[in-house]
Amino acid sequence: MATAGTSREPVPVRVVGGPTALIEYGGVRFLTDPTFDAPGDYPLGDGRALTKTAAPSVAPGDLGRIDAVLLSHDQHPDNLDRSGRTLLADVPLVLTTPSGAGRLGGTARALSPWDTVELDRPGGGTVTVTGVPALHGPEGAEEVVGEVVGFVLTGVDLPTVYVSGDNASLDLVREIADRFAPVDTAVLFAGAVRTALLDGALLTLDSVQAAEAARILGARRIVPVHFDSWAHFTEGRSALVDAFTAAGLVDRVEFD
């Protein structure tokens, strides 16, 4: 089990919309799954499309410096859209799946589960990014939806941060908790995503599962993302509030 950081200062997390959030960690500025396009229909390339229903709260240029992108996967427009792809060209490092790194090229670097990357902190020292497993649907979903990765951020005297990516497996959350719990901040991709792609099976955590994931991780603070701005996200803020209230964890939840 990893040694938890000792700092109790909250890690700044700015939720932009959909799966996109800016995390300032140890002086390093991370952006999760960048999606900045306008509302509209976005094709998947197989005759189907995903419908975006709301614009992001800020434009990419208003975020300031971005040191690294934590990209759970590149193959779906609700996790990496056209504007997000443009943004990647100006980011020094993009951490993503091995297949995604191969498709993207440029500054993209493969990060498989349990592999680590160390990034220099502006004031000295390093931040460690660990790739952690994620499953974008039921067992065997990778053959249809492709591979996905989550992330854990750690550093000396820094709190532990978990970024789930599009994960639907509580068993994998338990594996991550075995190594890193308790975590300080859990950035959980929720939304109870269902599409015809896998006959309506959950492709991300639903609200009840998100609350259970937070409990498993021993999260002191919970930041839900990936529950708004797209039509195929079937559970929004009210369902999350209800689930975390029922679990006795709603006082730990921050929506922005």
| Domains annotated on the chain, with CATH | 13-251 (3.60.15.10)
What strands lie across the sheet with 20-25, from one edge to the other? Answer: 13-17, 20-25, 28-32, 68-70, 94-96, 108-110
- Cβ-based neighbours of 236, under 8 Å, separated by 6 or more: 191, 227, 228
Check if the beta carbon of residue 131 is closer than 8 Å to that of residue 139.
no
Report the pLDDT value the prediction gives residue 1, as an integer from 0 to 100: 36
Report the pLDDT value the prediction gives residue 3, as an integer from 0 to 100: 42
Check if the beta carbon of residue 134 is closer than 8 Å to that of residue 142.
no
Question: What's the token pair of residue 248?
Answer: 């006795």
User: What whole-number distance in Å separates Cα of residue 107 and Cα of residue 35?
Assistant: 18
Report the pLDDT value the prediction gives residue 196, as an integer from 0 to 100: 66
User: What whole-number distance in Å separates Cα of residue 235 and Cα of residue 226?
Assistant: 10
Report pLDDT digits (tens) over 104-159. Answer: 999 999 999 999 999 999 989 999 999 999 998 667 667 666 799 999 999 999 99
Query: What is the chain's pLDDT, residue by residue, as a tens digit (256 residues)?
Result: 334 444 567 899 999 999 999 999 999 999 999 999 999 998 887 778 889 999 999 999 999 999 999 999 998 889 999 999 999 999 999 999 999 999 999 999 999 999 999 999 998 999 999 999 999 866 766 766 679 999 999 999 999 999 999 999 999 999 999 999 999 999 999 999 887 666 777 888 999 999 999 999 999 999 999 999 989 899 999 999 999 999 999 999 998 7
Q: Which residues pair with 204 in a beta bridge?
A: none
User: What whole-number distance in Å separates Cα of residue 162 and Cα of residue 178?
Assistant: 13
Taking only Cα atoms into account, the Rg of the chain, rounded to an integer number of angstroms, comes to: 17
193-197: long-range contacts, CB 8 A cutoff, minimum separation 24: 193/166, 193/226, 193/232, 193/233, 193/234, 194/232, 194/234, 195/48, 195/50, 195/232, 196/48, 197/48, 197/144, 197/145
Give the pTM: 0.93
